[in-house]
Structure formats: structure tokens, C-alpha cells
Amino acid sequence: MIKIKKIDHVGIAVKDLARAIEFYEGLLGLKVTGTEVVEEQKVKVAFLPTGDSEVELLESTTPDGPIARFIEKNGEGIQHIAFRVDNLEQVLEELKAKGVRLIDEKPRRGAGGARIAFLHPKSTFGTLVELCERED
């Protein structure tokens, strides 16, 4: 039985990370707790906690990465929602067995040492879903 623990983060695609941070920190009063480049995903990210969940701002590091492609098609905005789970491998196996289209069959390395995997929006009623497992 799959158990979603909480919304881990909401991923927001932006063109200019520094300028987006000026808004989220300067005007909304959130605080960046870490920035990091995740090469495999071709992104530079910043995390800003909001209560029990976080905002993840994502800027593309290349013109052909998933964030660049998303912005090209849709403009800036919410690109994915990430749910926290305990046993990612098992969750992926279970969803696959039930016919859900997985983008990642095996966990990949995400920001902050998390293990992550994406579900295809065609299988999730239009939202790109990230599953992630990490220490609290």
C-alpha cells in the first residue's frame, strides 16, 4: 500500500533564478536554505521552506533541459509537484504494475541528497509528479 507522507515541494520553472529569489525572499519573506546544481536534471535549484513543504525554484542550465523545454512551451510557472514517500523503489514497482507510466524506472539523485523519480503527466491527469525519498 502506497503512503504519501506530504507534499515535499512544488517545483517552479523560472528563467532567472536570482531574480525569482529576489521576489520570493524580498517580497514574500521566504528564505533560501540551499542552492545546488543537479547536473543530471540540467537545473540549478533553490529551496525555500514554507511550513512543512518547500518551494523549489528551478532554472535551466542548458537550452535543451526539461525546464528550458517547459518554459519554451508554457512560459514560467509550476512545473511539478513532489510527494514524499518512504520506500521509493517499492512505490515505483507498485505503480508500474498498475500500469502507470514511469519516466524513471529507478530512483535518481535529486537535490539535497534525495532519491527521486518522475511519473509521466499522461498517466497523472496532466501534472508532472515527482516522488521523493529523503531523511527528515
Ligand X SMILES: C[C@@H](C(=O)O)C(=O)SCCNC(=O)CCNC(=O)[C@H](O)C(C)(C)COP(=O)(O)OP(=O)(O)OC[C@H]1O[C@@H](n2cnc3c(N)ncnc32)[C@H](O)[C@@H]1OP(=O)(O)O
CA distance 80 to 61: 18
Stretch that binds ligand X, among 21-29, 63-71, 86-94 (CB under 6 A): 63-71
11 contributes a contact to Co ion by CB under 5 A: yes
* Binding partner at 68 among Co ion, ligand X, none, C-beta below 5 to 8 Å by kind: none
Contact status: 45 vs ligand X (CB under 6 A): yes
User: What is the closest distance, in whole angstroms, from the C-beta atom of residue 41 to Co ion in the complex?
Assistant: 8
Given ligand X, Co ion, none, residue 131, with its beta carbon under 5 to 8 Å by kind, binds: none
Burial of 126: CB neighbours in 10 Å, binned 0-12, 13-18, 19+: exposed
For ligand X, which stretch binds (CB under 6 A), given 18-26, 27-35, 83-91, 120-128?
A: 120-128
At residue 3, φ and ψ (nearest 5 deg) are: -125, 115
66 binds Co ion (CB under 5 A): no
C-beta separation of 56 from 10 below 8 A: yes
Confirm or reject binding of residue 58 to ligand X (CB under 6 A): yes
Closest CA to 81 of 47, 119, 52: 119
What is the maximum alpha-carbon separation in the chain?
46
What cell was used for 34? 540551499
List interacting residues with ligand X (CB under 6 A): 11, 38, 41, 43, 45, 56, 58, 66-67, 69-70, 73, 79-80, 82, 103, 110-111, 114, 116, 118, 120-121, 126-128, 130
